[in-house]
Amino acid sequence: MKHFFFTIALVAAFVAARGQNKLVIHADQGQTTISKHNNGHFAEHLGHCIYGGFWVGEDSPIPNTRGIRNDVVAALKEISIPNLRWPGGCFADEYHWMDGIGPRADRPRMINTHWGGVVEDNSFGTHEFLDLCEQLGCEPYICGNVGSGSVEEMSKWVEYITFDGESPMANLRKQNGREKPWKVSFWGVGNENWGCGGNMTAAFYADLYRRYATYCRNYGENRLFKIAGGANSADYNWTETLMRDAGGQMQGLSLHHYTVPGSWGRKGSATNFNENEYLSTIEKTLVMNELLARHSNIMDRFDPQKRVALVPDEWGAWYDVEPGTNPGFLFQQNTLRDAIIAGTNLNIFNNHADRVRMANIAQTINVLQAVLLTKDEKIVRTPTYWVFWLYKAHHDATLLPTALTANRVAQAAPAQANLPFRRESRGIDAINASASRDASGKIHVTLVNVDPKNEQSIEIEPRGTTVKRVSGHALVSSAITDHNTFDAPDRVAVKPFNGARLAKGVVTVKLPACSVVLLEIE
């Protein structure tokens, strides 16, 4: 009997894969802008994200500009990185910014108690971070210390960075080599204050937020976009309390949610997984859509004009660390599965662009779902990197309304009993998508085929426009576990895509199994 039901499941999956998916794009509509900041990034003093990732020091044989790796800057500029969040993360709420200014030889050393118990020498501080952002051409997003810091400390940091006038902090900045202030808009008032940022209640943090935010002042023409520390995943009470008690003093409210395949005790391997585990992981990734919808609904009650942005400034996949590495460094590999996770999340953010106007993947280099890996002088662009390369087509474009009808994909059999992935799959849509129109009138469509085995054919009907041509790029590989290494850095990379055909105004696309595809429609 068991074999009978297993066969039926396989047949059902095969039939579903042969069905017709359809995407209708209302190309003559659309009023919401997809903010480029939805493709933001995150750099914490954690593992080798900062040291060895961004920062090698001026005396390093690795080519650098004022201590910042040239190859990293060049790679991130290729994906038009719009903003970078720093210095954490949990590290932010034990970071005291005055330890990271002035001559590096005089900066105090500390223990990074959150991440690995290693010595932090503070050689990468405020000036180095803002220099990095200037080299990248991106906007800085600074997260201030509420957990162990004072109101005065945060207020002085804002003044040090942004005040163009005569004051103790402005004069100190000038003494440290920066005459003119920097322009910094994005300012986080604390991080994960429900956890590592202080283990606070929502009501207590709301009061504290109002106090700290009051003294984060606007100097000159610089205007702060203040982001309150928001909920952990489905903690809707946190959002309700913050919007009710402090919504009038914030411009953004964060949300943290990670895709964890197994349990927090045993998350699962980044590279050793089967199709059932893959599908279970993608199913968990899709929870982001429900989270954004429900948190947005709460925010709508207090802020119907959508003045306050919902900011998922920590998202991504979290697996067990690679064998033999420091467990506190959170180093993991990055496979084609992670590309599917990234493309799916970015499509979700696009489709919630009326409320989601900033998001940050965790993290940029060598930590969690990184876009880059470095080792000495070597650098690797991960599959997730190439997804950001594809999705930069949506930066500051107009979101186009879409209607998607998709096949369903489910696990063919229950996960193995000895793994933490044993659960009944409800099935998921084989395809997810988003579409936008850029300033030149071109339509870009990003399509993710989550099916690990089957090609999916989809008809795209752009309504309200005349289609003359279609072209594209695709990220695809032969196995869902494929990944790039220092010895094989280009195993998974973007390639021109020729699987789209245009006939009578309808675009028919054959999406390879487990792929992310960008179409440009003119």
CB of 306 closer than 8 Å to CB of 355? yes
- Per-residue burial over 239-255, b = 16 or more CB atoms within 10 Å of its CB, e = otherwise: bbbbbebbbebbbbbbb
Distance CA 143, CA 93 (A): 9
Euclidean distance between CA atoms 466 and 372, whole angstroms: 39
Q: Which of 400, 387, 474, 406 is nearest to 435 (CA)?
A: 400
The 3-state DSSP class for residue 41 equals: strand
- What residues form DSSP beta bridges with 284? none
Look up residue 261 and give its amino acid.
P
**What is the distance, to the nearest Å, from the Cα of residue 101 to the centroid of all Cα atoms in its chain?**
29
Q: Which of 120, 128, 139, 192 is catalytic?
A: 192
- The catalytic residue among 159, 277, 283, 314 is 314
Retrieve residue 498's tokens: 């020729």
Three-state DSSP class for residue 350: helix
**CA dist 27 → 366, 439, 441, 487 (Å):** 39, 13, 10, 44
For residue 354, give the nearest of 305, 302, 290, 288 by alpha carbon: 305
**Is 314 known to be catalytic?**
yes
Whether residue 192 lies in the annotated active site = yes
* Cα 299 to Cα 380: distance, rounded to the nearest angstrom: 40
Q: How far apart are CA 206 and CA 241, in angstroms?
A: 7
Distances (CA, A) of 100 to 65, 97, 124, 157, 456: 19, 5, 7, 11, 52
3-state DSSP call for residue 324?
Answer: coil
Amino acid at 288: M
Contacts for 45 with CB less than 8 Å, ≥ 6 apart = 51, 87, 88, 89, 91, 95, 112, 115, 120, 124
Amino acid at 473: H
Q: Do the bridges between strand 68-69 and strand 83-86 make them parallel or antiparallel, or are there none, so unpaired?
A: unpaired
Indicate which residues carry an active-site annotation. Answer: 192, 314
